[in-house]
């Protein structure tokens, strides 16, 4: 069964750093683009970043560009999100998701359970 499992969330002070991980299993990880989506408490979904299967292409939301870095280790079937210069507004549950392409249209077909990041002093 395909599965995604996030880890690495926690409480961090403003200006601090955190690295999230997402362990994938049950599907061909290296052939799948992967995405991070976040959800602030009581709010909607916000797309954060996407990385291609081989890691050669990355895309970021303007709100995190220059502060967050998405990466992957296909030998470990693991996706990462390095978050630097964290702000209170980054407080959210962070989900990793597997992207599928159907007739050239990307969609997020599999989601992890999420990991909570709280930025507070």
Partner 1 sequence: DIQMTQSPSSLSASVGDRVTITCRASQSIINYLNWYQQKPGKAPKLLIYVVSSLHRGVPSRFAGSGSETEFTLTISSLQPEDFATYYCQQSFTSPHTFGQGTKLEIK
Q: Is 102 in the site for partner 1 (CB under 8 A)?
A: yes
Q: Is 105 in the site for partner 1 (CB under 8 A)?
A: yes
Report the residue number, 27 or 111, with the smaller CB distance to partner 1. 111
Q: How many residues bind partner 1 (CB under 8 A)?
A: 24
Q: Which of 31, 41, 56, 62 binds partner 1 (CB under 8 A)?
A: 62
CA dihedral 57, 41, 43, 39 (to 10 degrees): 10
Q: Which of 116, 119, 121, 99 is nearest to 39 (CA)?
A: 116
Taking CB under 8 A as the binding criterion, the range among 9-17, 70-78, 83-91, 102-110 that sits at the site for partner 1 is: 102-110
Task: Find the length of the chain.
Answer: 121
What is the CB neighbour count within 10 angstroms for residue 3? 13
The mark string for 16-55 relative to partner 1 (x by CB under 8 A, - otherwise) is -------------------x-x------xxxx--x-----
Tokens describing residue 9: 């969330």
Where along the sequence are the contacts to partner 1 (CB under 8 A)?
A: 35, 37, 44-47, 50, 59, 61-62, 95, 100, 102-103, 105-114
């Amino acid at each position: 069964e395909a599965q995604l499992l996030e880890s690495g969330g926690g409480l961090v002070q403003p200006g601090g750093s955190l690295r999230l991980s997402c362990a994938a299993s049950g599907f061909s990880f290296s052939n799948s683009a992967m995405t991070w989506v976040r959800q602030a408490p009581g709010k909607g979904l916000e797309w954060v970043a996407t990385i291609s299967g081989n890691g050669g292409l990355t895309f970021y939301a303007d709100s995190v560009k220059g502060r967050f870095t998405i990466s992957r280790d296909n030998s470990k079937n693991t996706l990462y999100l390095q978050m630097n210069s964290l702000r209170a507004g980054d407080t959210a549950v962070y989900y990793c998701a597997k992207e599928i392409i159907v007739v050239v249209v990307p969609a997020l077909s599999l989601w992890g359970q999420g990991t909570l990041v709280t930025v507070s002093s």
